[in-house]
A and B are shown apart, each in its own frame.
Chain A
């Protein structure tokens, strides 16, 4: 099969995104018309919630989306909502998320208190927000709390509110902290509402974050379109790998049509270097393709966490589910046509609690967690 000559079955694609700095690859693709080389045009459709992203993917109102890794798996597994067969076409970025706590809590930790002591000092269950029940931020937050000896389901009230409302909620005292994407932590700090106490790259270095998601039948019915879209997004991710380009896109993202947040709050935490804090790994979009391969073991990790937190009890083959969701073959075709290297199937990482996930025995990995639902 001559892949490079196969024409996209669909030439105009509507892509959903949520107002976050790591929607940068979509913004680059649309603003620079990077799809033209691959025979597609891209229309960006900003969505007010992840629920809307899901619904519109399922109804066909949007063709693909910048989505939380965990959102795709939540829909695939039918956790708390509709079930549908989903596809992860590629990973769009790694790192770049954070946990912010209110000023008093952050100050206590800075002055030497443990996370557990600081939260306990409130004398009531802390209210900590994230962004979607099966999403990445929920999983980073729960993992981080548990690693600090705090049970995320029993010791904390975990709620969801829209990220643009997080800073206000901290100021009003409705929240004690939150885990979300940027630029909302920078916004909270600028308003003096709270301080960033942890970067998600400290929880799982180079963790997968947003993916390019679509319905499974879209990828199956329009494979040439899906490949063209992956190639377009690979071009966009590669473009983002220079400092000057990150600055350029920070300016573009600040527009009211995209994020509507001042550039000065977007740019530092979108930088190629340390994001202003030496503890944080920078948000990565490409790294010669090391970022983008939809490694099956990354998907399996999310399923282990749903089991850990009692969100999934079904006796299913986790690895088989992940292998059907993550479109590794399609990605390989697109990346190889672009001359981009495919990284290894396994990647070992040491998490903040010292545990190692290498994509090996998921059941043993899961059994090793002391704090769980």
Chain B
């Protein structure tokens, strides 16, 4: 069974991989959260694989172990000689890096990497989707306030108010929300 160490010293939820990897049958070692703890964890627990955030300040600690200790995990994911640039870019972009012991067959490491990459690529997608939903909500609020302003000041119905905003938006080639924002900012002057 592969022994996997997760380094959880940044905001990235590397620790969240624990459950999924455990379910897949990996031996999950106690997490290491500080550079000094990491050094001890690698020396005493001898992990086969270490998963760490690309942005972790502890990475150089692992680099030292890799050079000075033959049994320590070495950086493998990013730059095996045949790794193509696209994959390197994806791994760096997803923010995950792996170290594994020499002689570990790549196919044994692959599922762990895939879980980590999928997890963090998925998170990036979720963040994007959340940002989009929040943006849409914000736009709808602005449009509602602009409609109410037109209804109050011009005696328009709600439909008329929206039609007026929409026509102006189409004339100017911008979003309705943008026209609504302009209207609200001008309304403050009135």
How long is the Cα–Cα vector from A81 to B62 in the complex, in angstroms? 11
- Determine whether the beta carbon of B85 is less than 8 Å from that of A51: no
Determine which of A160, A165, A311 lies in contact with B63 in the assembled complex, contact meaning CB atoms within 8 Å. A160
How long is the Cα–Cα vector from A131 to B61 in the complex, in angstroms? 8
Q: Which of A140-184 contact B (CB under 8 A)?
A: 153, 158-162, 164-165, 169, 172, 174
A48 contact set on B, CB distance < 8 A: 55-57, 59
Q: Does A61 contact B (CB under 8 A)?
A: yes
Determine which of A81, A84, A130 lies in contact with B75 in the assembled complex, contact meaning CB atoms within 8 Å. A81
How long is the Cα–Cα vector from A84 to B67 in the complex, in angstroms? 17
Q: Does A49 contact B (CB under 8 A)?
A: yes
Q: How many residue pairs, one in A and one in B, have C-beta atoms under 8 Å apart?
A: 105
B88 contact set on A, CB distance < 8 A: 55, 58-59
- Determine whether the beta carbon of B67 is less than 8 Å from that of A51: no
How long is the Cα–Cα vector from A84 to B80 in the complex, in angstroms? 10
- Determine whether the beta carbon of B35 is less than 8 Å from that of A51: no
Q: A51 and B36 in contact (CB under 8 A), knowing A58-B79, A82-B75?
A: no
- Determine whether the beta carbon of A162 is less than 8 Å from that of B58: yes
Q: Does B44 contact A (CB under 8 A)?
A: no
Considering the complex, give the chain A residue whose CB is closest to the CB of B91: A59
Most A CB within 10 A of own CB, among B64, B78, B85: B64
Q: A82 and B68 in contact (CB under 8 A), knowing A51-B60, A58-B88, A131-B60?
A: no
A131 contact set on B, CB distance < 8 A: 60
Determine which of B55, B58, B79, B93 lies in contact with A81 in the assembled complex, contact meaning CB atoms within 8 Å. B79
Q: How many residues of A contact B (CB 8 A)?
A: 35
How long is the Cα–Cα vector from A348 to B88 in the complex, in angstroms? 41
- Determine whether the beta carbon of A80 is less than 8 Å from that of B74: yes
- Determine whether the beta carbon of A133 is less than 8 Å from that of B56: no
How long is the Cα–Cα vector from A132 to B59 in the complex, in angstroms? 10
- Determine whether the beta carbon of A60 is less than 8 Å from that of B89: yes
Q: Which of A42-73 contact B (CB under 8 A)?
A: 48-52, 55-56, 58-61
Q: Does B92 contact A (CB under 8 A)?
A: yes
Q: Does B139 contact A (CB under 8 A)?
A: no
B78 contact set on A, CB distance < 8 A: 55, 58-59, 82
Q: Does B100 contact A (CB under 8 A)?
A: no
- Determine whether the beta carbon of A51 is less than 8 Å from that of B79: no
Count class of interface residues, chain B: 20 to 34
A172 contact set on B, CB distance < 8 A: 36
- Determine whether the beta carbon of B63 is less than 8 Å from that of A50: yes
B92 contact set on A, CB distance < 8 A: 55-56, 59, 61
A134 contact set on B, CB distance < 8 A: 67
- Determine whether the beta carbon of A61 is less than 8 Å from that of B89: yes
Considering the complex, give the chain B residue whose CB is closest to the CB of A172: B36
Q: Does B66 contact A (CB under 8 A)?
A: yes
How long is the Cα–Cα vector from A311 to B63 in the complex, in angstroms? 13
How long is the Cα–Cα vector from A174 to B40 in the complex, in angstroms? 11
Q: A51 and B59 in contact (CB under 8 A), knowing A58-B78, A60-B89, A159-B39?
A: yes
Most B CB within 10 A of own CB, among A59, A130, A174: A59
A114 contact set on B, CB distance < 8 A: none
- Determine whether the beta carbon of A158 is less than 8 Å from that of B68: yes
A160 contact set on B, CB distance < 8 A: 35, 60-61, 63-64
How long is the Cα–Cα vector from A59 to B87 in the complex, in angstroms? 9
B54 contact set on A, CB distance < 8 A: 52, 55
How long is the Cα–Cα vector from A60 to B89 in the complex, in angstroms? 8
Given A58-B88, A162-B60, 8 new contacts (CB under 8 A): A52-B54, A55-B88, A55-B97, A58-B78, A79-B67, A133-B67, A161-B61, A162-B57
Taking Cβ atoms with an 8 Å cutoff, the residues of A that contact B are: 48-52, 55-56, 58-61, 79-84, 130-134, 138, 153, 158-162, 164-165, 169, 172, 174, 311
Taking Cβ atoms with an 8 Å cutoff, the residues of B that contact A are: 34-36, 39, 54-64, 66-68, 74-75, 78-81, 85, 88-89, 92-93, 97
What are 14 A-B pairs at a CB distance below 8 A? A48-B59, A49-B56, A50-B63, A51-B62, A55-B54, A55-B78, A59-B78, A81-B66, A81-B67, A82-B79, A83-B79, A132-B64, A161-B60, A311-B67
